[in-house]
Amino acid sequence: MHVIVVGGGIIGLSSAYYLQQSGHQVTVIDQTGFLPNCSHGNAGYVCPSHFIPLATPGIVKQGLRWMLNNKSPFYIQPRLNAELIKWGWHFIRSANAKQVEAAAIPLRDIALFSQLQYEHWNTLPGFKFAYEKKGLLEIFQTKEALHHAEQTAAAANAIGLTGTCILSSEQLAAREPHMSIRALGALYFPGDAHLYPAKLMEQLTQQLLMNQIQLHSPVQVTGFKTQQNKITGVYTNRGLFSADAVVLAAGSWSSELTQQLNLSIPLVAGRGYSITLENSPYHFEHPAVLVEGRVALTPMDGNKLRIGGTMEITSTKAPPHFNRVKGILQSVHQFFPDMNLPFPAENDIWYGYRPCSADGLPYIGKPAKWGNLVVATGHAMVGLSLGAGTGKLVSELVNEQPTSVDLSAFHPDRFSR
């Protein structure tokens, strides 16, 4: 069977990898390229700790407070757009305690499953992507954040993420002895891991090429050839690609494509920014999230340090707002007084678009409308974390096998029922 995978990020390439392994002929098409996408510049977390979705109680109110601050970590750019309005309506309705609680087990299960795939990859020839399992620190400065951390630690242990605990400022200092830290303490998730995304994507791409998978970019999808309830081909600016099955894993651009297929899948782009110190003078033992600033720091590949953050809900055509990077650097300095990083040159700032669903859960599954389509998008900030596992699940869906993880919570039709 010939499977067309639309999208060359970690989700699309992982899907292609497992589909080829199960015997299919696979072609991947991507509109930009296979390396400079959101899978390349992210924080590199493989994080079962992220079992709380983006749509949480209080995030809407907090977002309104942040909207007038051009350095804030969360921002929704106001614009008259029907898809944004639909997404916002569902997002507000989803941001409640009941739905957050219901999301915990599905997010835990898919994250642990994906982590197992990465750990297997890391044992294979051709895969050495600086995978380290040292846990994750969520460092906080306020009593309010401490209270939230205590609740999160209890919830994590209750769902089997055992060993999650609160560290005092002294215990935190012992875990990060090379840095002066201004904090009350940290929430520690011992089961998390991290990797170097650039190496992962380069090595995965090489594995696909070695296995005769066709990679085409830049290729723009212009439409779909259909017959009854099947997609028989993908129209592009380079002609028609015939297909027996299609995987839609186009990240933040998936919304435009699902609309062409008459699917109701609320999705918007959430832009994030990062900088990477290639030979960092600052040594961190663990990846860390700075809670109040919503900034991520990750030591990578020995001597690198990646610093990133912000969730800017905006159009993929909107110009970048580099002032947000100032907010990231200011937050770093507030937590680590010895780190007074200069504002980088614009060409040293990476930015990319995370595909954000309306409830904080990815869309993974087969829409009822199309018998040979698998949707795999909407992973927001955990795209890399869930990438390998999602690819394996996509192959199981295409092969009409029982899936290794219950996907009912991720069904792409859940907002059209």
Rounded Cα distance, 72 and 323, in Å: 9
Phi, psi (rounded to 5 degrees) for 300: -135, 135
What string of pLDDT tens digits covers the 417 residues of the chain?
999 999 999 999 999 999 999 999 999 999 987 665 556 789 999 999 999 987 777 766 666 566 656 566 677 777 777 888 888 888 888 888 899 899 999 999 999 999 999 999 999 999 999 999 999 999 999 999 999 999 999 999 999 999 999 999 999 999 999 999 999 999 999 999 999 999 999 999 999 999 999 999 999 999 999 999 999 999 999 999 999 999 999 999 999 999 999 999 999 999 999 999 999 999 999 999 999 999 999 999 999 999 999 888 888 888 888 888 999 999 999 999 999 999 999 999 999 999 999 999 999 999 999 999 999 999 999 999 999 999 999 999 999 999 999 999 999 999 987
70: CB partners within 8 A, 6+ apart: 321, 323, 324, 327
From the number of C-beta atoms within 10 Å of its C-beta (0-12, 13-18, 19+), residue 377 rates as buried
Point out which residues pair with 75 in neighbouring strands.
312
Helix, strand or coil, per DSSP, at residue 75: strand
Tokens 């435009």 map to which residue?
Answer: 256
Question: Which DSSP letter does residue 142 get?
Answer: S
Within 13 Å of residue 387, how many CA atoms lie on the same side as its CB? Answer: 35
Tokens 């030591």 map to which residue?
Answer: 299
Tens-place pLDDT, residues 27-66: 999 998 766 555 678 999 999 999 998 777 776 666 656 6
Helix, strand or coil, per DSSP, at residue 283: coil
**How is residue 327 written in tokens?**
């907010």
The arrangement of strands across the sheet holding 239-242 comes to: 221-227, 230-236, 239-242
Rounded Cα distance, 268 and 77, in Å: 11
Are 159 and 108 in contact by the 8 Å Cβ rule? The answer is yes
**CA quadruple 104, 143, 55, 114: dihedral sign:** negative
Phi, psi (rounded to 5 degrees) for 399: -80, 0
Whether residue 218 is preceded by a cis peptide bond, meaning omega within 30 degrees of 0, is yes
Helix, strand or coil, per DSSP, at residue 17: helix
Q: CA angle 123-129-131, nearest 5°?
A: 75
Rounded Cα distance, 235 and 239, in Å: 6
Are 18 and 395 in contact by the 8 Å Cβ rule? The answer is yes
Element (H, E) at 383: helix 383-398
Within 13 Å of residue 310, how many CA atoms lie on the same side as its CB? Answer: 34
Rounded Cα distance, 350 and 91, in Å: 27
Tokens 């990898």 map to which residue?
Answer: 17
